[in-house]
């Protein structure tokens, strides 16, 4: 019978929307809607919230381990499956060393406390230098910029959306993504409030996205153009004496160096290359610095470009030199109730380049190597070759560049163990799939995103349905104990079960608000710890406590930006590919849920009318898209929303091969964009994959 409503925080994206659910018999979720009283999201939800229930009921979602014998699959018991994984990992590590077993963990681990801690435990238990994660396809450039400038990768300021007068958005589409490193329920309402108080939202994107409708201005920008654009904005600010150099010098070093770099990038010099005329660049610079309170914000469109680290640094620099760093209405540091940063610093530290990938010499960053190196490390024989993979909550065949190459490499591994609840494009190649649990069964607490939310709200959602078997954390414990302390498997298992909740309680009690898990349990709509506040000077952790405005590893990459500007002038008629996200999708998954998957083909290639005419193509045509790495077929959509010379295809599709194990997703049309992206194209600073601005050709199939 339906009892009292349950309140639960959706874990599918960073918005952390509060849901109100009804559950029958402790097993059946009978209704889902937004929780109007939620202190972060105020009742806002997106279509994915309702899909959580369908995901829970999905018959294709695994409930017991699956093992593969050649091409045949069979159900297996937990003990058999876990014993097999541990025995073979131990054997491979004994024969070839610890690094022979690679570890990849995917995006959903950020959205689950038991998943986040499973990552740490498996990292320790496997002890491999071949650790990979999606950050090298995502936020590493921003983390690196923060580490260089503020001395800590996790010192990441977020825009004070609720109080700013001018929001400059580069390479983000919150109308689809619901905000990233800017955790905010109801982005639409919050953006409308900026406009209602007379503020401006200026969006720079090669596509006129859904977010353009929320902005006061949208400008097309050439893919990869952000670094040059930002240097030109800084050029204007310095040339017009709009930088209060005395004030900036009090908190930051490197002002003269930054000025000297920007000197060479006048708006007139970069305009043609970035696709924004000089007058507009000057106006944006002046409006930004003239606004009472302004913030510049960039996300994956910028991170995944050829200049991700440099452009991410320049966004931060713009906030600093205009006095908008760490102040109300500018960018500020959230204060998480359970702060994992000290733990992170302890476990990982602020490092990069401590080791390098064997084949291409790409640098480690925060304990992981760039995923673009994964396939070649598996394929290239010799000492240190990867021979096995443990993959937790990831679908790298669809999410890393040149997925088909990785697919071929995975097939040759001695052991591939996946912890996931679908047999998808990646896990179908595993020897064993250990099914993860649904979030309704594990409960939800965000250990990471409190650091990125636009308001200091903390919530805990206990499990709402009963279930048996281990979850991500338990699976990690079972593997870790078998590998490192088999003699205490039984006792360890019992002791370890509640460690994640105890860790949260400890962090809450010792954290800035001195709260506890019990208090959160008693506050189902969350505890509000208030709006963002300027920090007490503890977020800049460089040796001299000053912000570094011209960090050497980033400064040395600026000549490449100049070269790009010059080369763009001689650009021929070539097309480049960018990605996109959709509200009804979530990276490479949630496509097996009918309510989200239904409707039009969302993996069409978008192209502007001029380019389509030039190529003699029309909407609905089947086209072949070719890049250096590969080729795919897609249906063409002609739209005025794309910048000339730029086409767009979302990532995370290409499910046809799994139609036997994912019945809804498998019937969807559309290829994988990562069959076109190139594992050999990474930016040179930290090896981030370049996933936008991919040179391609398009022809009728
Ligand atoms: N071309 C291109 N490529 C991209 C991007 C892009 O914009 N363009 N974006 C990049 C970005 S930002 C990211 S974050 C990555 C994401 O890439 P990944 O992190 O590799 O993969 P996801 O697509 O998020 O797939 C998550 C997997 O985890 C499973 N899963 C879901 N919840 C759980 C759970 O609780 N436990 C376990 N064990 N499994 C679970 C799902 O079934 C799915 O198989 O993709 C990157 N790749
Ligand atoms: N519905 C939904 N929500 C999601 C996800 C999802 O897949 N679906 N994924 C989640 C994840 S893992 C992440 S990391 C976040 C990402 O959140 P966002 O950063 O908001 O991601 P996108 O929506 O991909 O927006 C990136 C934008 O950059 C633009 N762009 C591409 N190249 C360039 C360039 O060179 N310069 C500029 N200025 N713009 C460029 C693209 O056209 C696109 O509109 O979203 C999260 N939320
Ligand atoms: S925006 Fe949608 S996916 Fe993101 S937390 Fe809210 S309901 Fe979940
Ligand atoms: Mo991401």
Domain CATH code at residue 25: 3.30.200.210
- To test the pocket of ligand 1, the residue of 121, 141, 397, 420 to mutate (highest count of ligand atoms within 8 Å of its CB) is 420
Distances (CA, A) of 641 to 214, 607, 644: 15, 8, 9
pLDDT value, residue 659: 97
* Within a domain: 668: yes
- The protein residue whose alpha carbon is closest to atom 6 in ligand 1 is 651
Q: Which ligand is nearest to the CA of 374?
A: 1
CA separation for the pair 109, 469 (Å, rounded): 19
69 pLDDT band, cuts 50/70/90, is confident
Q: At what angle do helices 558-569 and 226-239 cross, to 10 degrees?
A: 110
**What would the two tokens of residue 125 be?**
């238990």
- Inform me whether the pLDDT recorded for 32 exceeds 60: yes
Check pocket membership of 13 for ligand 3, CB cut-off 6 A: yes
- The protein residue whose alpha carbon is closest to atom 6 in ligand 3 is 17
The CATH number given to whatever domain includes residue 681 is 2.40.40.20
374-394 pLDDT, tens digit each: 999 999 999 999 999 999 999
1 pLDDT band, cuts 50/70/90, is low
What residue spans of 58-186 are helical by DSSP H? 78-96, 113-126, 140-150, 174-177
Q: What is the mean pLDDT of residues 158-180?
A: 96
Check if the beta carbon of residue 466 is closer than 8 Å to that of residue 29: no
Lining ligand 2 with CB less than 6 A are: 13, 107, 138, 170-174, 176-178, 180, 204-207, 209, 221, 223-224, 226, 299-302, 305, 578-583, 585-587, 692-693
Centre of ligand 4 to C-alpha 155, Å, is 18
Name the β-bridge partners of 624.
633, 699
Q: Which ligand is nearest to the CA of 184?
A: 3
Atom of ligand 3 nearest to the CA of 586: 3
Q: Which ligand is nearest to the CA of 446?
A: 3
- Beta strands 28-34 and 66-69 are unpaired
Check pocket membership of 554 for ligand 3, CB cut-off 6 A: no
pLDDT value, residue 241: 96
Check if the beta carbon of residue 232 is closer than 8 Å to that of residue 267: yes
CA separation for the pair 623, 606 (Å, rounded): 11
CA separation for the pair 516, 523 (Å, rounded): 11
Q: Which ligand is nearest to the CA of 180?
A: 2
- The protein residue whose alpha carbon is closest to atom 4 in ligand 3 is 13
Centre of ligand 3 to C-alpha 49, Å, is 6
Both 273 and 165 in one domain: the answer is yes
Q: What is the mean pLDDT of residues 485-514?
A: 95
Residues in the chain: 701
Q: How many domains does the structure of the chain reveal? A: 3
Average pLDDT of the chain is 96
- At residue 280, the 3 state secondary structure works out as helix
Q: Which residues in 357-371 are b (16+ Cβ under 10 Å) and which e?
A: bbbbebbbbbbbbbb
Q: What is the mean pLDDT of residues 358-371?
A: 97
What residue spans of 363-402 are helical by DSSP H? 374-379, 396-399
pLDDT value, residue 507: 94
- At residue 405, the 3 state secondary structure works out as helix
Check pocket membership of 141 for ligand 1, CB cut-off 6 A: no
Q: What is the mean pLDDT of residues 260-280?
A: 97
Name the β-bridge partners of 388.
101, 415
Check if the beta carbon of residue 120 is closer than 8 Å to that of residue 285: no
Q: Which residues in 119-140 are b (16+ Cβ under 10 Å) and which e?
A: bbbbbebbbbbbbbbbbbbbbb
Check if the beta carbon of residue 615 is closer than 8 Å to that of residue 575: no
* Within a domain: 443: no
Q: How many CB atoms lie within 10 A of CB 36?
A: 12
* HEC-encoded secondary structure of 408-443: HHHHCCCEEEEECCCCCCCHHHCCEEECCCCHHHHC
CA separation for the pair 120, 343 (Å, rounded): 11
Check pocket membership of 45 for ligand 3, CB cut-off 6 A: yes
Check pocket membership of 171 for ligand 1, CB cut-off 6 A: no
- Inform me whether the pLDDT recorded for 2 exceeds 70: no
Check pocket membership of 449 for ligand 3, CB cut-off 6 A: no
Check pocket membership of 435 for ligand 1, CB cut-off 6 A: no
Check if the beta carbon of residue 119 is closer than 8 Å to that of residue 442: no
Check pocket membership of 115 for ligand 1, CB cut-off 6 A: yes
> CA-CA-CA-CA torsion for 192, 193, 195, 201, nearest 10 degrees?
-80
- The protein residue whose alpha carbon is closest to atom 47 in ligand 2 is 177
Centre of ligand 4 to C-alpha 107, Å, is 6
Atom of ligand 3 nearest to the CA of 583: 2
The answer to whether the Cα torsion of 475, 476, 479, 482 is positive or negative is negative
Domain range for 50 is: 6-57
pLDDT value, residue 343: 78
- At residue 213, the 3 state secondary structure works out as helix
DSSP 444: B
* Within a domain: 187: yes
Comparing C-alpha atoms, which of 202, 261, 213 is closest to residue 237? 261
Centre of ligand 3 to C-alpha 32, Å, is 12
Check pocket membership of 178 for ligand 3, CB cut-off 6 A: yes
570-621 pLDDT, tens digit each: 777 799 999 999 999 999 999 999 999 999 999 999 999 999 999 999 999 9
pLDDT value, residue 345: 79
Q: What is the mean pLDDT of residues 673-681?
A: 98
Q: Which ligand is nearest to the CA of 15?
A: 3
* Within a domain: 489: no
CA separation for the pair 31, 522 (Å, rounded): 22
Domain end: 292, 314, 332, which one? Answer: 332
Domain end: 332, 366, 384, which one? Answer: 332
CA separation for the pair 482, 21 (Å, rounded): 38
- Residue 81 sits at the vertex; the CA angle it makes with 80 and 82, to the nearest 5 degrees, is 95
* HEC-encoded secondary structure of 313-361: HHHHHHHHHCCCECCCCCEECCCCCCCCHHHHHHHCCCCEEEEECCCCC
Q: Which residues in 660-690 are b (16+ Cβ under 10 Å) and which e?
A: ebbebbbebbbbbbbbbbbbebbbebbbbbb
Q: Which ligand is nearest to the CA of 109?
A: 1
- Residue 546 sits at the vertex; the CA angle it makes with 348 and 542, to the nearest 5 degrees, is 20
* Within a domain: 161: yes
The CATH number given to whatever domain includes residue 306 is 3.40.228.10
- To test the pocket of ligand 3, the residue of 178, 189, 446 to mutate (highest count of ligand atoms within 8 Å of its CB) is 178
pLDDT value, residue 641: 98
Q: Which ligand is nearest to the CA of 578?
A: 2
pLDDT value, residue 390: 98
DSSP 604: P
The answer to whether the Cα torsion of 111, 114, 119, 120 is positive or negative is positive
CA separation for the pair 673, 677 (Å, rounded): 7
- The protein residue whose alpha carbon is closest to atom 34 in ligand 2 is 223
Check pocket membership of 135 for ligand 3, CB cut-off 6 A: no
- The protein residue whose alpha carbon is closest to atom 29 in ligand 1 is 393
* Within a domain: 99: no
Atom of ligand 1 nearest to the CA of 111: 35
Both 182 and 315 in one domain: the answer is yes
Name the β-bridge partners of 9.
18
Both 178 and 293 in one domain: the answer is yes
Domain end: 312, 332, 352, which one? Answer: 332
Q: At what angle do helices 78-96 and 472-484 cross, to 10 degrees?
A: 50
* Within a domain: 190: yes
- Inform me whether the pLDDT recorded for 468 exceeds 60: yes
14's CB contacts (< 8 A; 6+ apart) are 178, 179, 180, 181, 182, 183, 449, 452, 453
pLDDT value, residue 573: 73
Check if the beta carbon of residue 74 is closer than 8 Å to that of residue 66: yes
Comparing C-alpha atoms, which of 463, 468, 471 is closest to residue 521? 463
Check if the beta carbon of residue 268 is closer than 8 Å to that of residue 282: no
Share above pLDDT 70 across residues of the chain, in percent, rounded to a whole number:
100
The answer to whether the Cα torsion of 450, 453, 458, 464 is positive or negative is negative
Both 185 and 312 in one domain: the answer is yes
Check pocket membership of 12 for ligand 3, CB cut-off 6 A: yes
- The protein residue whose alpha carbon is closest to atom 31 in ligand 2 is 301
* Within a domain: 637: yes
- DSSP secondary structure, 639-686, as one string: -TTBPTTEEE--SS---GGGTTT-TTGGG-----GGGTS-TT-B-TTT
């Amino acid at each position: 019978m339906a009892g009292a409503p349950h309140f639960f925080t959706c874990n599918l994206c960073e918005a952390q929307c509060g849901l109100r659910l009804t559950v029958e018999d402790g097993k059946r979720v009978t209704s889902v809607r937004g929780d109007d009283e939620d202190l972060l999201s105020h009742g806002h939800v997106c279509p994915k919230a309702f899909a959580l229930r369908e995901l829970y009921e999905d018959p294709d979602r695994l409930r017991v381990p699956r093992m593969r014998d050649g091409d045949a699959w069979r159900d297996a018991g937990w003990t058999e499956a876990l014993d097999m994984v541990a025995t073979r990992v131990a054997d491979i590590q004994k024969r070839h060393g610890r690094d022979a077993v690679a570890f990849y963990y995917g995006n959903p681990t950020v959205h689950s406390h038991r998943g986040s801690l499973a990552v740490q435990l498996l990292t320790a238990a496997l002890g491999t230098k071949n650790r990979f994660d999606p950050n090298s396809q995502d936020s590493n450039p921003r983390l690196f910029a923060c580490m260089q400038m503020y001395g800590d990768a996790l010192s990441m300021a977020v825009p004070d959306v609720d109080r700013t007068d001018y929001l400059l958005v580069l390479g983000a589409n919150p109308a689809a993504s619901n905000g990233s490193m800017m955790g905010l329920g109801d982005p639409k309402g919050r953006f409308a409030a900026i406009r209602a108080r007379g503020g401006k939202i200026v969006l720079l994107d090669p596509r006129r996205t859904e977010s353009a409708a929320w902005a006061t201005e949208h400008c097309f920008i050439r893919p990869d153009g952000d670094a040059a654009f930002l240097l030109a904005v800084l050029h204007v600010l310095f040339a017009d004496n709009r930088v209060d150099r005395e004030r900036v010098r009090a908190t930051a070093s490197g002002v003269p160096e930054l000025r000297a770099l920007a000197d060479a990038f006048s708006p007139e010099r970069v305009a043609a290359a970035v696709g924004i005329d000089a007058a507009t660049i000057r106006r944006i610079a002046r409006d930004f610095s003239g606004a009472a309170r302004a913030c510049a914000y960039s996300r994956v469109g910028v991170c995944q470009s050829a200049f991700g680290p440099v452009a991410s640094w320049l966004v931060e620099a713009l906030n600093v030199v205009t006095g908008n760093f760490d102040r109300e209405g500018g960018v500020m540091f959230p204060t998480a109730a359970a702060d994992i940063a000290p733990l992170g610093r302890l476990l990982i530290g602020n490092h990069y380049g401590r080791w390098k990938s064997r084949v291409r010499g790409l640098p480690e960053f925060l304990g992981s190597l760039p995923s673009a190196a994964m396939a070649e490390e598996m394929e290239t024989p010799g000492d240190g070759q990867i021979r096995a993979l443990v993959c937790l909550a990831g679908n790298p065949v669809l999410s890393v560049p040149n997925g088909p190459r990785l697919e071929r490499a995975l097939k040759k591994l001695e052991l591939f163990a996946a912890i996931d609840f679908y047999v998808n494009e990646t896990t179908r190649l595993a020897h064993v799939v250990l099914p993860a649990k649904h979030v309704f069964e594990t409960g939800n607490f965000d250990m990471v995103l409190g650091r990125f939310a636009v308001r200091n709200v903390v919530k805990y959602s206990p499990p709402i349905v009963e279930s048996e078997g281990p979850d991500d954390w338990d699976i990690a414990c079972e593997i870790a104990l078998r590998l490192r302390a088999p003699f205490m498997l039984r006792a360890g298992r019992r002791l370890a079960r509640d460690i994640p909740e105890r860790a949260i309680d400890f962090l809450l009690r010792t954290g800035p608000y001195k709260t506890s898990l019990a208090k959160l349990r008693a506050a189902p709509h969350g505890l509000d710890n208030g709006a963002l506040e300027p920090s007490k000077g503890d977020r800049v952790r460089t040796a001299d406590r000053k912000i570094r405005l011209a960090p050497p590893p980033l400064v040395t990459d600026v000549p490449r930006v100049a070269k790009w500007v010059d080369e763009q002038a001689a650009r021929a008629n070539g097309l480049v590919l960018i990605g996109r996200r959709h509200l009804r999708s979530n990276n490479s998954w949630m496509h097996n849920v009918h309510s989200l998957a239904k409707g039009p083909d969302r993996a069409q290639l978008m192209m502007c009318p001029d380019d389509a005419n030039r190529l003699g193509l029309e909407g609905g045509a089947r086209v072949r898209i070719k890049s250096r790495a590969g080729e795919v077929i897609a249906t063409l959509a002609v739209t005025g929303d794309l910048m000339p010379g730029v086409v767009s295809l979302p990532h995370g599709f290409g499910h046809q091969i799994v139609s036997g194990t994912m019945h809804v997703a498998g019937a969807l049309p559309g290829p994988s964009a990562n069959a076109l992206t190139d594992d050999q194209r990474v930016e040179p600073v930290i090896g981030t994959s370049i996933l936008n601005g991919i040179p391609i050709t398009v022809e009728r199939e």
